[in-house]
Structure 1
Amino acid sequence: MKASVSLYLFLSLCGLSSALLRKHFYVNEKLFWQDAQKYCREHHDDLSTASSQEAQQLTINQNFSDRFWVGLNTLNSTEWIWSGGEKEAFDYWNAGEPNTNYELCTAILKSNSKLINVVCNRNYSFYCMERFGLILVQDSKTWEEALDYCRQNYIDLVSIDSSRIMAEAINNTMTSQTANVWIGLRFLAGHWFWVNGGNVEYKAWSGGELQCPSKNLQCAALDKDNNVWKPEDCEKRLNFFCLKEYKKPEIF
């Protein structure tokens, strides 16, 4: 059984107008680490790379086992690397770990979201990841035009549903040619919603909670000077964030 986790975290890339986004998928099938890696590379991108914050979210979003594989491993018990090639920190080892020179693969404990090193031929469930790109489009369009542009040329306008995503999005507004940047948040039928269908649980409105905006201010933009969302006139012409597909590198 495979379950998608509604978890998106951004990683800064070279350049100030793009970032990489990870989405994680829990696979409730118990395999050796290498077989789990093979499965993930065939069906997704790779075994999951997970920051400490992601590790906490991954444990919250599954209830099937007390530990599960992620993509951190080593060949010599000294240099640990992520299967997907990311440089993400792995500074959240469980107490006393890593502790032997023959336990070359890693799992996360559900009890405390910490890494443990174990022998690779254990049968654990695992998380796979898929990667997408965040791109700032430096072309001024109305909200609807931005939505159409993103869907025609990429995937969608970007949804921001955590403080870390918000921080990374702010970092990528530095080259924006407009003070505010469209995001995929719209007010219709009495409530705000993300264009990807997600509920608005994380909020970063200017002035706190925002329930019913003025009739002409029913699209949301990221204010790069004040680091908040603000309702804007949907006909205003702004730069915008698109979500683009990540091109998976070939694995030999």
Structure 2
Amino acid sequence: MTRNTVLLLLISGFCSLPLENLCLPHEYHFVNVAKNWTEAQSYCREKYTDLATVGNQDEMNTVINNVSSVYTGVIWIGLYNDANSWRWSLADTGYYDSGETKYRNWEDLEPNNYLGDETCVEMLTSGRWNDLLCKVTRPFVCSYGRNVTNQRYIFINQYTTWSQAQAYCRIHYTDLVLVRNQDENEEIRELVQGRRVWIGLFRDSWKWSDQGNSSFRYWKQTQPDNFYTNEFCAVATLTRTSNGTWSDRSCDQNHPFLCSGAPKSTIAPPTTNTTTKRTTSVLSTTMQISTAVSTTNLSPAVSTKTQSAHQPTPQNLISKGTHLPCGTGVCFCVYSIFLSIFFLL
């Protein structure tokens, strides 16, 4: 059986001596095995650190250039839309009795995440709720009170975005209105007199599996769109026309995927029927870009954990990073121009 794995090593940022202590590599591992998003996440967490977080355009270009040399199609990355993270702007638990944070009054077929980014909530004229783009403008209702039993509602008949409404309520009152039960919902509906208004319920938008804070996005035009109403995971499309841009897909689809982080265990290299071709381009006396391609018939697994027949074998790495010897697959080391200048000096 032939197995292909791609390792991308990124070293970036300003570095001071001692170099090996302060410049830590950012490793990506492309796994050419089709899994759904949750299975891919579990695999990456078991073998490496997590599904990949992409921090900037340079990192994305490295993924595009190197993975595209061995694979064409879509791959999972670590970005997902947490559709079940609804919570109230007023987070203080002292304002809620048991179970009251879970009260919901959705309109039929809502929330539907229309166009892929509806993360704020309005109350409709009927009193039912609808998820909505946070940049839409609506009047809003603030809560005012210091405990669970002492709440007043203040209607602000001014059109603002959800974030602007939240900021206004927090400055002048307590917070955007919390709705804890049906009686409160009806009281607020009567207060606003047939207007659609913001309430304090919201959820997280797109975030990374490893809880990283990267704000970098590389969406294809018109994406995300949640076209089939269940597209909550992100893929990068590595084709000539899409050039690595991202789109949202159903998390149940099966695709290869990109992991990040160093391998958690070392797997002994294959012992039979292995041929290796290696080419090395020397950039300076201390730096190299090396590429190794191996075609391997794998012997039985030799780690303490039994590997299934469809799982790729992790690469063995050398942490010093002047080049990467590879056991199986395709490995790439990419270094910044700064490091070349550093060593030449």
TM-score with structure 2 setting the length: 0.38
Structure 1: gaps (5+ residues): 133-186, 206-220, 223-227, 233-252
Match of 1:157 in 2: none
Q: Aligned match of 1:81 in 207, 215, 228?
A: 207
Distance 2:80 2:24 in 1: 22
Cα distance change, pair 230–27 in 1 and its aligned pair in 2 (3 A): closer
Change (3 A) 1:203 1:49: closer
Q: Which residue of 122, 127, 131 corresponds with 2:253? A: 122
Equivalent position of 2:52 in the other structure: 48
Identity, in percent, stands at: 23
2-side partners of 1:41 and 1:81: how far apart?
A: 17
Shift of 1:56: 2.0
- Residues 9 and 54, structure 1, Cα contact 8 Å, conserved in 2: no
Tell me, yes or no, if the aligned pair for 1:7 and 1:57 is still in contact at 8 Å: no
> Among residues 101, 104, 108, which one is paired with 2:232 in the alignment?
104
Query: Out of 60, 63, 74, which is 2:65 matched to?
Result: 60
1:27 alignment partner, SS class: strand
Is the contact between residue 9 and residue 334 of structure 2 (CA under 8 Å) also seen in structure 1? no
Confirm or deny: 8 A CA contact 1:68 1:108 kept in the other structure.
Answer: yes
Q: For the pair shown, which has the larger CA radius of gyration, 1 or 2? A: 2
Indicate the residue corresponding to 1:193 in structure 2.
Answer: 287
Check conservation: 2:79, 2:208, Cα contact below 8 A: yes
Which runs of 5 or more residues in structure 2 are unaligned? 15-20, 84-116, 120-204, 264-283, 289-319, 325-332
SS in 1 for 2:225: coil
Aligned partners of 2:62, 2:45: CA distance in 1, in Å? 22
The CA deviation at 1:91 is 2.4
Kept in 1: contact 2:75–2:256 (CA 8 A):
yes
Which one has a larger percent strand, Structure 1 or Structure 2? 1
Cα deviation code 1:135-184 (max 9, x no counterpart): xxxxxxxxxxxxxxxxxxxxxxxxxxxxxxxxxxxxxxxxxxxxxxxxxx
Q: Cα distance, 1:3 vs. partner? A: 1.7
Q: How big is the shift at 1:193? A: 3.0
Separation in 2 of the partners of 1:95 and 1:192? 42
TM-fit CA distance, 1:28: 0.5
Paired position in structure 2 for 1:32: 36
Structural mapping, 1:132-151, within 5 Å = none
CA shift in 2, pair 1:69/1:130, >3 Å: same
Equivalent residue letter for 1:33 = W
Counting only pairs closer than 5 Å after superposition, residues 219-238 of structure 1 correspond to structure 2 as 228-229=341-342, 231=344
How far apart, in 1, do the equivalents of 2:45 and 2:323 lie?
27
Return the offset for 1:61.
1.6
Amino acid at match of 1:193: M
1:10: how far off? 4.7
For residues 11 and 99 of structure 1, the distance between their equivalents in structure 2, rounded to whole angstroms, comes to 34
How far the C-alpha of 1:229 sits from its partner, in A, is: 1.9
Partner of 1:213: none
Q: CA deviation at 1:198?
A: 2.5
The secondary structure found in structure 2 opposite 1:61 is: helix
Is the Cα contact below 8 Å between 2:235 and 2:247 reproduced in 1? Answer: yes
Q: CA RMSD in A?
A: 3.4
| Residue aligning to 2:244 | 113
SS at match of 1:71: strand
Distance 1:41 1:202 in 2: 26
* Matched residue SS, 2:223: coil
